[in-house]
Structure 1
C-alpha cells in the first residue's frame, strides 16, 4: 500500500494510490510505503529514479548503514517499537529537498498518529525534513509513554512482592519479560539517539531544526537515565523474589529440623528399652511403661523449652 501526501490549499492531504495506477502521480511531498509489494516498490523507484533500501539494508547495525548523507538526499534507517514492546519495525527514510519517501513493512503508532494530525498541519511551513522531525517527535513521545507503562508494571510487581509478599513461580518469568521489554526499549532509544546525533551534525539540515533536534537528544538522554533506573529496579525485584524464596525454604527446613530434634530423645529412649538384654529391671517393673512415656515427654519438652528460650521457635 502507498499513501501519498500533497499540499492542498495550505493543508496536508492524504491520498491512497489505487491498484490500477502504474505510476506515482506528480507533486507529493511524502510517499509512505506500508505493507508494500515489490511491484509498488518498483513503481516508486522508477518514478523517482532511485534505489530504495532492501530489508537486509534496513536492519544493518553499522553507523554508516543507519545514516547516509549523499549529494542531494539523506537515507536514514531507524527501528520503531511496536506497542507490545515485544519487537521493533525497521523504517527507512529517503529525504530529498522536494519529497520524502518512507518504507515500513507494518503499521506503526507514530505514523498512525501523524495521519490523524495531518489535516491540521499547515503545509506552508512544511517540508520533507519537517515531516521526519515530527515523526521522530511522535516516536520519542511514544517511547516516553512506553517507559511510563513499564514503570507502572514494575510498581505493581513490586507491591505484590514487598507488601503482599506473594511468591509465585510466574513472578520470576514476569520479571524476565519486563527485563526483555526494557532491553528492547533501551536499544530502540539508543538507535534514535545515534540517528538524531548524525542528523544534528548533517549539513543537509537547516538551522531552524537544530534547536528542536537538540531538545529531542536531551529528552532521549533523560529516557536513557530512566531505563537505567528501570534495570536497577528489576534487579532489585529479582533479588527480592529470590530472597523471599530462600526465606520460605529456610522456614520449611527449620520446621523439619525442629521436628527431627524433638523426636530424637523419644527415639533414644525407645531404642534403649528395645534392647534385648537379660537384665533390664524396668522391663519387669509395674510402672516401667508409664515411666518410659514420661521420660520421652520430659526430654521432648526440655528440647522445646530450650528452643523457645533461644528464640529459635
Structure 2
C-alpha cells in the first residue's frame, strides 16, 4: 500500500486536493496540502513541513532528493538508546520517540520521527495520529503560524501532549469505574441468586478473572502512555536548547509551557500507576478470599465427616463379643450416634460463622 506524503507550504494560497491544483486567493499563512505521487510531480521543493505516513523506500528517496535531508528508516527510529533518538545533524536535528496508537482495544507503541532544520520539518510516522490532523486543520484554517519549521514543530508537540493528556484522563475515568467494580464486588450474593446455587462460585470466578484482565490491560496501556510521555519529555528540552539560534518570538515561552504540561502529566501518570497497583492488589486479595472460602468449606466437610467415619469403623469391627451386637436397638442406636456426631460439628461451625 502506497503511503501518502503530506506537505505544508507557508505561501498565502490555499490549494484544493487534486492532482493538478490551481492557486486561488485565501487568508494569509494558509496551508497548501499536496498528495505526493511516486514520480514526485506534486512534491514542492519549498515545502516547510513534509509529513511521511508509512513511507515506502521510493517516497523516502524522493524526499531525500528534494530536500537534501536523510529520511530515517523505521528500524533507525526504533532504536532505544538516547544517542540514536536525539541526534545533531550538520544543519539540524534528528529526533525519534515511541508513540502510543491510542487504540483502547489494542494499543501499541510505534516509532515517530522528526527531522528538524531551520527551514524544514520532516515527520515520519507509521500510524494515524489525531494530533497531526488537528495541526493540519489549524494551519488550513489559519489558526496558528506556519511560516517556520520550529512553529509547526511546536504545534505538533502541543497537540501530542494534549492527546496524551486526553488519554490519561480517559484512563483515570476507566480506573475509577474499575475501582467501583472491585470494591463493590460481593462474593456472597448476586442478583437473582438462590441459596445453594452451585453455579455462583463459577460465576464469581469468571467475574474476578474479567476484573483481573481489565486491570492488566489498563496497566499495559498506562505503561505505553508513560513511554510516549517520556519520549516527549526528552525531546522538548533538547530541541529548546539546540534550536535557540532560530527560535524567535514566543518560542521559548511555548517550550517552557510544554515542559510544564509534560511534568504535570508525569505526576498524574504516576498517581494512575499507583492506582493500578492498588487495584491489582485488591483484586488479588479478593481472589485469595475466594480461595480461602473454598478451603474453609473443604475443611468443614472433612471435620464433619471424621466422627461418623470413626463411629462406623468402630462398629464395623468383626469381634465375636460386642455389647451392642445382640441388642434389639443396636442398629438405630448406631445410626443416631453417627447422625449426632455429624450434626454437632456442623452446629458448632454454624455458630462460629464458618458457613
Return the TM-score normalized by structure 1: 0.90
Alignment partner of 2:238 out of 186, 190, 198: 198
Note the 1:19-38 alignment, pairs <5 A.
19-22=38-41, 24-38=43-57
Structure 2 distance, partners of 1:18, 1:265, is 88
Gap change, CA 1:239 and 1:105, over 3 Å in 2: closer
Structure 2 distance, partners of 1:223, 1:66, is 22
State the shift of 1:153 in Å. 2.4
Gap change, CA 1:272 and 1:78, over 3 Å in 2: closer
Is the contact made by 1:23 and 1:43 (CA closer than 8 Å) also made in structure 2?
A: no
Deviations 1:247-298 (A, max 9, x none): 1121122112112222222222211211111111211111111211222233
Alignment partner of 1:285 out of 327, 343, 346: 327
Structure 1 distance, partners of 2:248, 2:78, is 28
Structure 2 distance, partners of 1:71, 1:47, is 17
- Aligned partner of 1:41 in structure 2 is 60
- CA RMSD, 1 decimal: 2.3
Structure 1 distance, partners of 2:311, 2:69, is 96
Is the contact made by 1:147 and 1:227 (CA closer than 8 Å) also made in structure 2?
A: yes
State the shift of 1:19 in Å. 4.1
Structure 2 distance, partners of 1:172, 1:122, is 45
Structure 1 distance, partners of 2:84, 2:249, is 24
Secondary structure, aligned partner of 2:80? coil
Matched, 1:172 2:212: yes
Secondary structure, aligned partner of 1:168? helix
Alignment partner of 2:177 out of 138, 156, 163: 156
Greater mean alpha carbon deviation, residues 44-53 or residues 282-291: 44-53
Structure 1 distance, partners of 2:210, 2:295, is 23
Runs of 5+ unmatched residues, structure 2: 14-27, 187-203
Structure 2 distance, partners of 1:241, 1:133, is 42
Structure 2 distance, partners of 1:248, 1:218, is 45
Structure 2 distance, partners of 1:64, 1:311, is 64
Secondary structure, aligned partner of 2:31? strand
Matched, 1:230 2:234: no
Gap change, CA 1:301 and 1:80, over 3 Å in 2: closer
Deviations 1:166-185 (A, max 9, x none): 53323323322222111111
State the shift of 1:217 in Å. 1.2
Greater mean alpha carbon deviation, residues 23-32 or residues 126-135: 23-32
Note the 1:96-135 alignment, pairs <5 A.
96-121=117-142, 126-135=147-156
Note the 1:205-224 alignment, pairs <5 A.
205-206=247-248, 208-224=250-266
Greater mean alpha carbon deviation, residues 191-200 or residues 165-174: 165-174
Aligned length: 313
- Aligned partner of 1:188 in structure 2 is 228
Greater mean alpha carbon deviation, residues 195-204 or residues 85-94: 85-94
Give the structure with the higher percent helix: 1
